[in-house]
Amino acid sequence: MSSFNIFDIAGSGMSAQSLRLNLTASNLANAESVSGNAKGVYRPREPVFAALLDNETGSGTAARVQVLGVTESNAEPQMRYEPGHPLADEKGYIYLPNVNVVEQMANMISASRSYQNNVEILNTAKQLLLATLRIGQ
């Protein structure tokens, strides 16, 4: 494995965690959005990741994180009885997304720390490469 592969690995990890942070922020921003029907309510989104090994070199030691896609939650929306609300249906219900704010905040902290770890990996690899180059001086 080349020493430069670590930059690709950490970079792909940072990209994946950036997507995770953006989706979590979107989920939190829409946690209290209201809809007049169950079909129009916001659905929380989550990224799907996969770790890929580089089999081209034959060693299978290089890896990266690939984003396979973004999934929407199948959880039923919350129904709240508010007959005076302008978006209430004929029965007086409004619909809210099934977003657990505490879970989303924990997810955001986890994604943020994972991103920070990848930044530290990049900084450490850079310092080691620079130290290696100084040996020859």
Q: In this structure, are residues 119 and 14 in contact, taking their beta carbons and an 8 Å threshold?
A: yes
Quick one: which of 114, 125, 120 has its CA closest to 13? 114
> How distant, in Å, are the alpha carbons of 49, 118, 135 from that of 10?
14, 5, 25
Quick one: which of 129, 123, 122, 128 has its CA closest to 11? 122
Segment among 22-26, 59-63, 91-95, 121-125 with least mean pLDDT: 59-63
- Counting every residue written for the chain, the total comes to 137
Give residue-wise pLDDT tens across range 93-106. 999 999 999 999 99
The whole-number average pLDDT for the span 110-116 is 96
pLDDT at 63: 82
**pTM of the prediction?**
0.84
pLDDT at 108: 97
Strands 78-81 and 63-72: unpaired
Residue 56: pLDDT band by 50, 70, 90 thresholds?
low
